[in-house]
Amino acid sequence: MKLFLILAVSASLAAQTSEFVADPMPTPSCHASTIVELASGDLMTAWFGGAGEGRPDVAIWGARRHAGKWQPPVELAREPNIATWNPVLFHSGDGLLWLYYKFGPSPQQWTAARMWSRDDGVTWSKAEHLPAGLYGAIRAKPLVLPKGLIVSGSSVESYNSWAAWVERSTDFGKTWTRHGPIVPPEGGIIQPSVVQVEGDHLRFYARSDKAARICVSDSYDAGITWTPARVTELPNPNSGIDVVRLKDGRYLAVYNHIPRGRTPLNLAISNDGDHWTPLKTLESDPGEYSYPAMIQASDGLIHITYTWRRQKIKHVEVRVK
């Protein structure tokens, strides 16, 4: 308990602001946002939206935040007569901005697609459909390292069997190799969020099924092989999470701190990535607050987007001391 108290007072939020990306939204339902900082310092977010998850009208939408204000959402990608899912935005380190997404009637049957932009999301290439079995980043942003190395958390949600994988690129995301599956402690794990611990030591944090806790796996060869996953002390109600390694070396997690349900939505901080201290409750009202995406911008600010009751995408900006 003494250690917990010492850790608890070592971090606080210096500032917090929140806003909806759009109000009203362009569709009745929305979910699964992603966020990226652009070269200009603007932000861009994307999500899937339509009549409801899995409906054939669901498309990928996006919005840009310029000069502190979100611009009207625009449609980024649509597949004919089939739902789209889980967009992920990221820079590959060679000047390209990528948008990966999935399409299909369900996660058990989906295929991945990707588009790229040379002008930070003003214009986009045509969608390219990926070969069966490759998905790119499945929900959380990938880890982008020097010299073209990108490590993406991926997963498969087969009937009654979930498995997490890692997809690895050494040519700035042009081609990928698949590594795994990573053995879960119990049940299944999906949607890993990958961070760098030090050098070739990487770690991912994953959503779990039966374990009801966030699970973690380590790689000591830059993402080629991975340890069996183990449970952490953080609960997980079978819902998406995100983790970033801050510029000061600490780890920040955004997740639902409950074994069932999708409220509350919380921030926790850690010095070592294993032992966590509660930092902030972002949402605690009844409803669903889920699938957060988080980045630390070049100015040190933390930006988080998440699903707000399946009706809106909310953006929260915090500075951690």
Q: Report pLDDT for 160.
A: 80
The CATH T-level fold of domain 2-320 is Neuraminidase (2.120.10)
Judge whether residue 58 has pLDDT over 80.
Answer: yes
Find the range with the poorest average confidence among 7-16, 100-109, 176-185.
7-16
Q: Report pLDDT for 159.
A: 81
Q: How far is CA 198 from CA 52, 137, 161, 172, 207, in A?
A: 41, 21, 32, 20, 23
Q: What is the pLDDT of residues 254-312, one digit of tens each?
A: 999 999 999 999 999 999 999 999 999 999 999 999 999 999 999 999 999 999 999 99
- Counting residues of the chain whose pLDDT is more than 90, the rounded percentage is 92
Q: What is the pLDDT of residues 22-56, one digit of tens each?
A: 999 999 999 999 999 999 999 999 999 999 999 99
